[in-house]
A and B are shown apart, each in its own frame.
Chain A
Amino acid sequence: MSDLATASLPAKQPDGALAHAAYVLRSNPVTLLAFSMFAVLLVAAILGPALVPYDPMASNAAQALQPPSFDHWFGTDNLGRDVLSRVVVATRLDLVISVAAVALSFLIGSILGSIAGYWGGWIDSVLNRLFDTIMAFPLFVLAMGIVAALGNTVENIVYATAVINIPFYARLVRAEVNIRRDAGFAQAAKLAGNSDIRVLAVHIFPNALPPMMVQVSLNLGWAILNAAGLSFIGLGVRPPTAEWGIMVAEGANFIVSGEWWLAIFPGLALMFAVFTFNLLGDGLRDIVDPRQRT
């Protein structure tokens, strides 16, 4: 009975997720870079306010519009605030906005998508038309409309960003659930006495998570851009809160007059964050892709 003896099995270590992640990181330098960049972002978000050299809100009219120097690495803005401090401190807010928005759309999208994908039928059709309707709007303009209508607060930016992302998650979950709806393990779960909802929640949905994690990562970057775009047209957070988008938007007016540091540094920070999330998405894809595993 050769298939049984453990000894005759190829000497195979159980392929843990960590070991696999380590392999992906080792074999792909870009992904390693992405994870390191992500670590930097996290540090800035968590410890930012403790690390920065100046109070990001404190103005100093005498020091307004100073170019980058030893005292102010990123220069100062029109109110004399330290740009470096503001850029670093803004990390937390920007990450919170994107994470909250993505979490919200992930949650709602998952529920709606699971329902549509698992039960199908008229509820699927109705939900699909709903998603089509949202997608038929130019998404950024829809976000603008929502923020304009609800008022520009951080929460509303989060809601708007979440709403325009819901269809993407819902569609993805719908597809992932749909292909697994009649999978053997789902049927086996039913035979084991699981109700439909349990089968969906415990067996099918967790298996749809890996491709969603990739979407989540890419989406985090996009959510940051979206919030920044809203800030750029004046529908962003309240001053004097530091936020990258609004800093770029305000700094943009200073570029032509030579005060490039006002826009460039927050712009680079924005780019850095989005870049990190996008690269991270590719890396996550490699990590969660079962075909990449032995």
Chain B
Amino acid sequence: MTYETSRRGFLTGVGATALGASVLPFLKVLPASAAGNDVVVAVTGQTINSLDIHRKGTNRPSYQVAVNVYDRLVSFGTKTLEDGSLSYDYAVIEPEVAESWEFTDDGMAIVFKLRPEGKFQDGSPITAEDVKWSFDRAVSVGGFPTVQMKAGSLEKPEQFEAIDEFTFKINLLRKSKLTLPDLAVPVPMIINAKVAREHATEDDPWAMEYLHKTPAGSGAFKVASWKPGEQLVYERNDDWTSGPVPAVKRVVLREVPSPATRRALLERGDVNMSFNMPNKDAKELSGTEDITVTTTPVENAIYCLCPNLSFEPFKDKRVRQAIAWSVPYEEVFQTAAYGRGAPLWGGQSATPADIAWPQKFPYSTDLDKAKALLEEAGYGEGFEVPLSIDLSQSDWMEPAALLIQENLAKIGIKTTIEKIPGANWRTASLVEKRLPLHLETFGGWLNYPCYYFFWAYQEGHLFNSSNYRNEEIETLTPEALHMPVEDPDYAPKIKRMIEIVWDEVPRIALWQPALNVGTRNLAGYEYWFHRQLDVRGLKKV
């Protein structure tokens, strides 16, 4: 697919706006509000670098293409939160390409019935063969998609069977509560295998090169034009078969790196949506006329301060606790997060009452207690340690680190703040796990505490940047991971796990972050766990 074709597609599909612009030559600047009721303009700070989530090197913002342009077998439902905003519903799995599914009697396989009327964007039918090819691809290409599939115990192509044209069967390796939800994440998207195979080569059996630039899906939107670093234009798929046809015809997603500019654009009404706004802007713009700010705490995510257990003073639990008692939580929350998100400090009991995750840690700011603990641990005179932060997340990390630095100084811990460039951050913090004291953030897509523990508290796992190891956690976590939530053993195990990490605090929770989206004359924004923009439900108001 070349530039030419996509441009032609853009022009022929553009109808309304092109006409609008030429009919109204006197309109010098046409604001978004006047751009027509079926066009939505959104701004984001990030670059979409691929249209294929399976590709190596595809970045997070690109995942939204998988959401908007491709369908999956199933999807999550939608619920309305207390504040009236929409969110996906983790508890409800809904049909998408599949119209129904059932577990086999032994519970070791799931059989999906596909919609017979299902069509790809090129008009060809969606068959079980396509699903199998797509799943085979996801588990074979390696990297992130394979890891994510594995989280749902989807590991080998042999697990996937196309029974007939519209019947698809997944054989399970183990019973796991994670399998079905994992089918609703962006990764197991369904690709038009006929088209993809045409462009596959011996070196490139999975058509990585082709699908990287040219989506072949069945989703609600097509990609009308894509200029990495500039914009992506979605165009409605009027023949969408997996759900109600979206209300808006086109969505222009503009990349504007400067947050100040994004804010200005939204304030001036030149765009309908600013996705992933800084907390400060969200705080200040909420309540303004015409602009709706939707702030949703990110599920299963915590911003935390991590002392690394590979380094001497932090091997002592009391030192970690001392730090936990010394963080100026309220100031950090107000200054770094502008109060957007949920506080995770000041819990009253050292044992959790329920299995909600994240929930308030039993710490608050108490420098005397911190000092006492430090004395007890033999570090009464304090020590020096670098406090590392990620340059690309300095918007929240820097103020948080500065405030933490000040309070740590009060109990005698001298810190120097080290900004690490984005490219190095992941290597240093997660892969080599060599940062003695640092800020960290992890959020699990699958909304279970055990899933969080699996990634962040089990030794050697990627997000356990504290090099934490606790024998009990090591046994409890794998046990709980696949266990259904309803299982009577589940809650006690989780509570025990929470109690342990509260006591040992290898990760000191600062707050639960939130995703801020500002909209203007726009309804239907829905929060998703993947924190990317789902444009399917949007409508102008």
Contact = CB atoms under 8 A, between A and B. Distances in A.
A46 to B, nearest CB: 25
Contacts of A57: 406
B280 interface: yes
A152 B417 CA distance: 12
A57 to B, nearest CB: 8
Interface in B279-328: 280-281, 284, 328
B403 A238 contact: no
B263 A257 contact: yes
A219 interface: no
Contacts of A148: 421
A255 B328 CA distance: 27
Nearest to B264: A256
A152 B422 CA distance: 13
B349 interface: no
Given A61-B335, A253-B260, A234 B402 contact: no
Contacts of A238: 416-419
A234 B259 contact: no
Given A252-B260, A256-B263, A256-B267, A59 B402 contact: yes
Interface stretch (B1-9, B206-214, B393-401): B393-401
Nearest to A153: B418
B278 interface: yes
A191 B523 CA distance: 90
B263 A240 contact: no
A238 B278 CA distance: 22
Interface string A256-290: 11000000000000000000000000000000000
Interface string B248-291: 00000000001111011001000000000010110010000000
Contact of A257 (B284, B401, B406, B416): B284
A64 interface: yes
B199 to A, nearest CB: 36
Contacts of A152: 419, 421
Contacts of A252: 258, 260
Contact of A239 (B261, B395, B402, B421): B402
B64 interface: no
Contacts of A105: none
A234 B405 contact: no
A54 B257 CA distance: 34
A240 to B, nearest CB: 5
Contacts, number: 64
Nearest to B407: A59
B56 to A, nearest CB: 23
A256 B402 contact: no
A215 interface: no
A255 B260 CA distance: 7
Given A238-B416, A238-B417, A257-B284, A79 B334 contact: no
Interface of A is mostly: loop
B162 interface: no
B35 interface: no
A234 B335 contact: no
Contact of B402 (A235, A240, A253, A255): A240
B260 A234 contact: no
A57 B401 CA distance: 13
Interface residues of A, number: 20
Interface in B472-486: none
Given A61-B334, A78-B335, A79-B335, A257 B405 contact: no
A234 B394 contact: yes
B419 A257 contact: no
Contacts of A239: 398, 401-402, 417, 419
B391 interface: yes
A61 B259 contact: no
A238 B421 CA distance: 12
A99 B258 CA distance: 31
A64 B332 CA distance: 12
B278 A253 contact: yes
Contact of A64 (B264, B267, B335): B335
Contact of A79 (B281, B392, B399): B399
Interface in A158-173: none
B239 interface: no
B274 to A, nearest CB: 12
A257 B284 CA distance: 8
A254 B421 CA distance: 23
A78 B258 CA distance: 18
A10 to B, nearest CB: 65
B331 A234 contact: no
Contacts of A257: 260, 263, 280-281, 284
Contacts of A254: 260, 280
Nearest to A58: B406
Contacts of A61: 328, 330-331, 334-335, 403
Interface string B377-396: 00000000000000110110
Interface in A36-64: 57-59, 61, 64
B337 to A, nearest CB: 12
A255 B335 CA distance: 17
Contacts of A253: 258-260, 278, 280, 395
A281 B335 CA distance: 43
B406 A59 contact: yes
Nearest to B332: A61
Contacts of A235: 421
Contact of A59 (B260, B278, B403): B403
Contacts of B417: 238-240
Contacts of B403: 59, 61, 79
**Closest A-B pairs by Cβ, 6 of them:** A61-B331, A256-B260, A256-B264, A234-B391, A256-B263, A240-B402
Interface of B: 258-261, 263-264, 267, 278, 280-281, 284, 328, 330-331, 334-335, 391-392, 394-395, 398-399, 401-403, 405-406, 416-419, 421
13 contacts: A59-B403, A61-B328, A61-B334, A64-B335, A79-B335, A79-B403, A152-B419, A152-B421, A234-B394, A239-B398, A253-B280, A255-B260, A256-B261
Interface of A: 57-59, 61, 64, 78-79, 148, 152, 234-235, 238-240, 252-257
Given A59-B331, A59-B335, 19 more contacts: A58-B406, A61-B335, A61-B403, A64-B335, A78-B335, A79-B399, A152-B421, A234-B394, A234-B419, A238-B418, A239-B419, A240-B405, A252-B258, A253-B258, A253-B260, A253-B280, A256-B260, A256-B264, A257-B260
